[in-house]
Structure formats: structure tokens, C-alpha cells
Amino acid sequence: MDIKRRQFLKIAGLSTIAGIGAPAAFNLLLKGETSPVSYASSGGSAEASHDDAPAGVRLGMVIDQKVFDANIGLAQKCVTACHTVHNVPDFGKDNKKDAIKWIFEVPFEKAFTNKSHYHRNAHLHDSDFLVLCNHCDNPPCVRACPTKATFKRKDGIVAMDYHRCIGCRFCMAACPYGMRSFNWRDPRPFIDQTKHNKEFPTRMRGVVEKCNFCVDRLARGLQPACVEATGNTGAMVFGDLNDSHSKIRKVLDENFTIQRKPALGTQPSLFYII
């Protein structure tokens, strides 16, 4: 057979690429670093894996919807508290496109998309549920972030370093709860100058932001701002999920709680008493 020079080069090139690539791919699969099956499609079985929570501190939160239902306006107080201490801009009610949200209220069917909504009772029908970042133990946003701007700390907090964020928004696509917001425009002119927190920075155009579980306040021995805003109503309980003597564990032991989309295997650290 008569091979032309051009054809020979093509074949040689392709074989080289295959030769370089194949061992790497095989090694990864053999070591099990990439699972051939994607997590998102693994459906129900992932729920069981929530048992093997890591040792050490793992911060979490319980939101008691019954208390919020009994105290009209309390949820909004939490939102205002969080957005004030973290200098979250307010673009007004009409501008949904630019909105930045760390914590906000949504109806039952938006918060718990995989629960049945058929003939739900008046309580579930009428109440709005507070949602914020779940600080997942297996956070897809961290896996998606190419710059390590989003990372998981030892205490379970999924935090962000805005200096490193390049605004690619992979994390927003990866978060199955929609808990991240992108700064489409400079947020500073939309922060209330009379109330803003001078101890906390703002963000700039082109970065993503979200709830940070008040990591800066915890360092000063304070409770998260939203939890503080609920006062002694018990509407929100914050603490170490791995400490069997903590208040949050007591609440979890005594109540039936649900989580948002547990079947995805993200292992959220937020629990809801419905």
C-alpha cells in the first residue's frame, strides 16, 4: 500500500496522542479517582451514604418552620440582618435579574422540589421557607470551581475567597439549590450607606457570592446573624452536628426533619422542621 507523507504524519500524530493519553486515563479509572458513573444520576442510593459524616467539627443548622409560621415577619428580619452585616446590595424588588441573595424566602415547592406537592395542607401551601447555602458535606460547587475560590473548610463551612474568583459561574451551574448569586454590576452603589457594616468588605463586579455561615462572626464568638435575629424563639438552631451534647443534636434527636434534595448526595448541613 502506498501511504502518502501527509497521511503518515496524521496517523503518527494520532497514535502519539492516544499513547500519551491512554495510560493516564487507565490509571485514573484503576485508582478510582473518577467514578465512571456521575453522582447526579445515581439517584436514590446516594441518600444512604449520608451516614458516613466525617469526624471533627461539622457545623450545621436547623430551621423550625413552625416557629416562623407563628411569628409573621421573623423570616424577613433574618434576611435583613444577614444582608446588612454582609453588605449585600439591594437592587430593588423589580430588578430580579441583578439580585444578590444570601438568604431568602421561597414557597414549599421551590424549596423541596422532590417532595409531593399534590393536595398539600394549608400550612405548607401558605408558608415561605428560608433558604441559604446548605454547606454541603459533598459540595458540587467546590468540585466545579477551577480556581479553588470556593473551598470546604475543616469545620464543614463551604467558604469563598473572592480574591480568587474569576466569575466563571461554574459553581452556580453546579449548585443544585441555586444558592449562589453573581455580581452582574458594581454592587457598591446599591448598598445602603447609612447602615452598611464597615468591618466587612463588599464584593466587586464579576464575582459570585453566597452565605458564608458567618465565618467572621463565629471567629469572634458570635452566632450567625440570622440565628441572632431570631432571638430566643428557637426558630433557628446553629451548632456542631458531630457533638452529641450540642443543642442542635438535641433538636435533631427530638424532631422529624427533612432536607433539600437529599437524593443528590450533596449531604446538606441544613435541616428543616416542617
Partner 1 sequence: MYDGKLIIPGLLIFLVLMISPILFNGLDAGPVPKPEKPVGVTKCVKSAQYMRTSHMKVLDDWRDETLRDGDRTPVEIDGVKYEKSLMNGCLKCHTDKKKFCDECHVYTSVKPYCWDCHYVPKETF
56 lies in the binding site for partner 1 (CB under 8 A): no
Mark the segment that binds partner 1 (CB under 8 A) among 72-80, 129-137, 198-206, 245-253.
198-206
Scan residues 162-181 and list those touching ligand SF4 (CB under 6 A): 165-171, 175, 177, 179-180
* Stretch touching partner 1 by CB under 8 A, among 108-116, 122-130, 147-155, 260-268: 147-155
Return the one option of ligand SF4, partner 1, none that residue 215 interacts with (CB less than 5 to 8 A, by type): partner 1
- Cα–Cα distance measured from residue 124 to residue 4, given in angstroms and rounded to the nearest whole number: 73
Among 4, 93, 198, 245, binds partner 1 (CB under 8 A): 198
Quick check: 205 and 186 in contact, CB under 8 A? yes
Determine if 143 is a binding residue for partner 1 (CB under 8 A).
no
The size of the interface with ligand SF4 (CB under 6 A), counted in residues, is 40
Near partner 1 by CB under 8 A: residue from 78, 159, 248, 252 = 159
Distance CA 27, CA 265 (A): 26
159 versus 252: smaller Cβ distance to partner 1: 159
Concatenated DSSP letters for the chain? Answer: ----HHHHHHHHHHHHHHHHHHHHHHHHHHHTSS-SS-GGGGGGGGGGGGG---SS--EEEEEEHHHHHHSTTHHHHHHHHHHHHTT-----TT--SS---SEEEEEHHHH-TTS--TT--HHHHH-EEEEE----SS-HHHHH-TTS-EEE-TTS-EEE-TTT-----HHHHH-TT---EE--S--GGGS-TTT--TTS----TT-EE---TTHHHHHTTPPPHHHHHTTTS-SEEEEETT-TTSHHHHHHHHS--B-SSGGGS---SEEEE-
Stretch of 17-25, 46-54, 129-137, 191-199 contacting ligand SF4, by CB under 6 A? 129-137
Task: State in angstroms the smallest separation of the CB of 244 from partner 1.
Answer: 23
Residue 153 in the binding site for partner 1 (CB under 8 A): yes
Of these, 202, 230, 267, 269, which contacts partner 1 (CB under 8 A)? 202
Q: One symbol per residue from 42 to 81: x for binding ligand SF4 (CB under 6 A), - otherwise; what is it?
A: ----------------------------------------
For ligand SF4, the closer CB: 209 or 252: 209
Chain residues in the site for partner 1 (CB under 8 A): 151, 153-155, 159, 161-163, 188-189, 191, 193, 198-199, 201-204, 215, 219
